Amino acid sequence: MTKTNTLPTTTLPHPPRAPGLPILGNALAFRAAKGIPVEFIQKTLRTYGDIVHITVTGRNFYLIGHPDLAHEIFLKRVNEFHKAVRISKRPIALSRFLGHGILIVDHDQWKPQHKLIQPLMHAKHIERYADTMSKFGEQMLSRWQDGAVRDVHADMTQVTMWIIAETMFGMNIDQTPDMQRESDTAQQIAVYDFIAPMPKWLTGHRDREAQRVNNFLTGLVQKFMAERRAQGQVERHDLLSLLMDTRDEDGNPMPDRFIRDNILTLFFAGHETTANTLTWAFYYLAQNPVVLAARHREVDTVLAGRTPTLADLPNLPYTLMVIKETMRLQPIVSALPRAILKDTELGGYQLSGQSLVFTSPYVLHRDPRWWDEPEQFSPSRFSPENEAKIHKYAYMPFGAGPRICIGNHFALMEAQILLSMMVSRYTLHLEPGQMVEAQRQITTSPKGGLSMRLARR
């Protein structure tokens, strides 16, 4: 991996630089966290200001701590702040696995993909998925029993996987230990490509592991496509049909690689994120009895134990507030890296080209300048009157600007349906004695799962 420290050509000052070790720079903070060191990023920004220069094994990173700067990066000057994989000429991080899918590609290649896929995720279009979401919520609830101890993270991963597989690919798929393991490995490799960059001749082991995971993932897509072909001529309006039926101007189908990359992107981006959000919501609810009691009042009045439908959602506003507050305290994507390819200016400072710019929703979401008592779990921040006052770029669990999450409406609807039906039937208590630790890779999950005891209401 190459790195060039281009000398600044202007007279602007450089941002303050956090102290670090020779050569390693601040790499140890990243290694110690085995992922995104949000506490280190938070402390560094609070100490040195809203743009701070650190280095990680020789590469420049700029940490960003102000919503106005995020506004520049993600919206106003989006064409200058590239998807982070552009820092390398060869596939690194998520591009190793998701290739040229919509999440990864830079702006020029992204536009046609977005035009193709976005209509599928439009708020009106996804309303039709509400019944599928409830159906699989019931399927999960049929596995739950009073007094049982469950790994809620595994359950949420399963139920969201059923939902994404049926809505996007028209198939039923069960979470397997292999799938969880390979997905964890992919995330580890993706993060390590940034936090422990190595020259090509040293990445042999990492490359082989990535290849193994890729073989597994390609097998998964082949299974999706084979099942669809076996289903014959059933007319469908899902992602799989869209990708398989789309033709270019010359009437040729999309290349297999394009289909593969986008199927995997939507499959993984579309379930792990929501699964983790729901898992953390159960965690916070278990620790906040007053909030839980308010949730019980809402679901008991609106649902009285029955399965929710689309029509119920406007009557479950507190459930949505709980989800939004969960995503504030525990944004599942805790850092949004971008690459700057050339020297540029930001916030009155000179930034060197070939660097990474790190905006952390976790840090923005806990900044006392924008949030009262930021460490408190308090869903009322998201009541309609309070939510209107939130600085737009101080809250960005779904990212921001043109590259904002394409599945945000889908995710919120799904989380609102599943959380309301589960809370209306069961109270979940944290199993005592477990150390709940956030593992922050590309997504944030409770390390080793989350054990909770079910109490039937």
Positions in the binding site for ligand HEM (CB under 6 A): 102-103, 114, 265-266, 269-270, 273-274, 277, 332-333, 336, 397-399, 403, 405-407, 410-411
DSSP 200-263: GGG-HHHHHHHHHHHHHHHHHHHHHHHHHHHT-S----SHHHHHHH-B-TTSPBPPHHHHHHHH
Q: How far is the CB of 24 from ligand HEM (least distance, A)?
A: 27
Q: Which is closer to ligand HEM, CB of 158 or CB of 274?
A: 274
Which stretch of DSSP H or E encloses residue 291? helix 289-302
The Cα 103–Cα 110 span in angstroms is 8
Q: How far is the CB of 395 from ligand HEM (least distance, A)?
A: 12
Q: Which is closer to ligand HEM, CB of 167 or CB of 203?
A: 167
Query: Do residues 442 and 113 lie in contact, with contact meaning Cβ atoms separated by under 8 Å?
Result: no
Q: Which is closer to ligand HEM, CB of 25 or CB of 101?
A: 101
Q: Which is closer to ligand HEM, CB of 273 or CB of 352?
A: 273
- Alpha helices, DSSP H only, in 346-395? 361-365, 384-387
DSSP class of residue 319 equals H
Q: How far is the CB of 129 from ligand HEM (least distance, A)?
A: 10
Q: Which is closer to ligand HEM, CB of 292 or CB of 332?
A: 332
Q: Which is closer to ligand HEM, CB of 46 or CB of 409?
A: 409
Q: How far is the CB of 264 from ligand HEM (least distance, A)?
A: 11
Q: How far is the CB of 331 from ligand HEM (least distance, A)?
A: 7
The Cα 158–Cα 180 span in angstroms is 10
Q: How far is the CB of 333 from ligand HEM (least distance, A)?
A: 4
Q: Which is closer to ligand HEM, CB of 25 or CB of 96?
A: 96
Q: How far is the CB of 89 from ligand HEM (least distance, A)?
A: 20
Q: How far is the CB of 455 from ligand HEM (least distance, A)?
A: 26
Q: Which is closer to ligand HEM, CB of 59 or CB of 365?
A: 365
Query: Do residues 71 and 396 lie in contact, with contact meaning Cβ atoms separated by under 8 Å?
Result: no
DSSP 109-140: HHHHHHHHHGGGG-HHHHGGGHHHHHHHHHHH
CA distances from 84 to 338, 387, 450 (A): 4, 31, 31
State which residue has the least CB distance to ligand HEM: 407
Q: Which is closer to ligand HEM, CB of 48 or CB of 398?
A: 398
In the Cβ-directed half-sphere of 142, how many Cα atoms lie within 13 Å?
Answer: 8
Query: Do residues 363 and 396 lie in contact, with contact meaning Cβ atoms separated by under 8 Å?
Result: no
Q: Which is closer to ligand HEM, CB of 265 or CB of 420?
A: 265
What is the distance, to the nearest Å, from the Cα of residue 377 to the centroid of all Cα atoms in its chain?
20
Q: How far is the CB of 432 from ligand HEM (least distance, A)?
A: 28
Q: How far is the CB of 30 from ligand HEM (least distance, A)?
A: 18
Sign of CA dihedral 248, 253, 255, 261: positive
Query: Do residues 93 and 85 lie in contact, with contact meaning Cβ atoms separated by under 8 Å?
Result: yes
CA distances from 165 to 110, 157, 162, 168, 171 (A): 23, 12, 5, 6, 6
Q: Which is closer to ligand HEM, CB of 240 or CB of 454?
A: 240
Q: How far is the CB of 338 from ligand HEM (least distance, A)?
A: 8
Sign of CA dihedral 171, 175, 179, 184: positive
Could you give phi then psi for residue 342, rounded to 5 degrees? -120, 160
Query: Do residues 57 and 23 lie in contact, with contact meaning Cβ atoms separated by under 8 Å?
Result: yes
Sign of CA dihedral 45, 46, 51, 55: negative
